[in-house]
Amino acid sequence: MVTDIRAPWADEDEALEPIVAAAIARGADPGLVKYLAIDASMGRHVSRHNAEILGESMLAYPTYAEFLLVHGQAFVPPAVPRPKGIRKGTDKQCFANANHVAANHLWTYVEGYGTSYIPCHHAWVVDDDGNVIETTWRAPGVSYLGVPFPQDIVELSMLVTGYYGVMGPHMLMEPYTEESYRARLQAAWENGERWRPVLSF
C-alpha cells in the first residue's frame, strides 16, 4: 500500500517559493529553476541540520543553487555558439575558456548554470550588446542563468583561490553585492590568505 510520504526538506520548499517565483519572473527557464530549487531545498535542509548540531548560524546561501536563484540573470541562448573569430575552447574548461575570452575582448564573464543535455555549473561570456558567447560547448545551451562578474573580481578571485571560476564557498557566507565581495577578496589578497575552493561540512 502506497502512502503519502513528505520529503524531509518540504518546509524548505515553501520557504524558497518567493525566490523561485522571482527567478521565473526575471525570465529564467522554469525547468532549470525547478532543478535549482530542488538542490536549494535539500541543501538548506542539510545546512540547517549541520548548523544546529554545530551550534553555528547558516550561511547566507547554503548552496550555489540558492545563490543563483537570488542573484542569477536569465540570458537568451545564442543562435550560434560563437561569432566569427572566436574559437571553441577546451572541453570541460569553461571557467578558463570564458575568462580568457572575456579578458581578451573586454567582454563580461558570467558564471552560473547552463543547460545542454542536463543543467550544470558553467561559465560563458556576454558581449557589449548582451549576446551570449558560448566559449566551451560545441552547440549553444538551451538555457542560461548566471551572474555577470566584473573583470577585477574575476582576477582577484583567481589570485586568492588559485583557481579559475568565481563562485566559491566564501561567496556563500555573507549576503552578496559586488562591492562587498570585492572588498573581501581584496582584503584576503592583501593579508596573504588563500581560500580553499570547496566547502567542508
Question: How large is the average pLDDT for residues 7-11?
Answer: 75
Q: What's the domain range around 150?
A: 74-190
> Mean per-residue pLDDT for 16-40?
97
Backbone angles phi, psi at 154, to 5 degrees: -60, -45
For residue 5, is it within any domain?
A: no
Could you report the per-residue pLDDT of 136-188, keeping only the tens digit for each? 999 999 999 999 999 999 999 999 999 999 998 999 999 999 999 999 999 99
Give CA–CA dist 152/181, Å, rounded.
11
Q: What is the C-alpha separation between 196 and 119, in angstroms, rounded?
A: 25
Task: Give the pLDDT score at 153.
Answer: 98
Amino acid at 97: N
Residues 124, 157 within the same domain? yes
- Looking up cell 570564458, which residue turns up? 98
Distance between CA atoms of residues 142 and 149, nearest Å: 22
Torsion of CA 117, 119, 121, 125, to 10 degrees: 70
What pTM was computed for the model? Answer: 0.93
- The answer to whether residue 1 is domain-embedded is no
Is 109 inside a domain boundary?
yes
pLDDT above 50 for 97 = yes
Claim to verify: residue 90 and residue 33 sit in the same structural domain? no
Q: Which three cell numbers stand for residue 198?
A: 570547496
The answer to whether residues 61 and 150 belong to one domain is no
Q: Are residues 30 and 79 in the same domain?
A: no
Q: Distance between CA 55 and CA 191 in Å, rounded?
A: 28
Domains in the chain, number? 2
Q: Is the dihedral of CA 145, 142, 109, 90 positive or negative?
A: positive
Residue 151 lies in a domain: yes
Q: Do residues 58 and 142 both lie within one domain?
A: no
* Whether residues 81 and 180 fall in one domain: yes
Residue 163: φ, ψ to 5°: -130, 150
Query: Quick one: 52 and 85 in the same domain?
Result: no
Same domain, 19 and 81: no
Check pLDDT > 80 for residue 103. yes
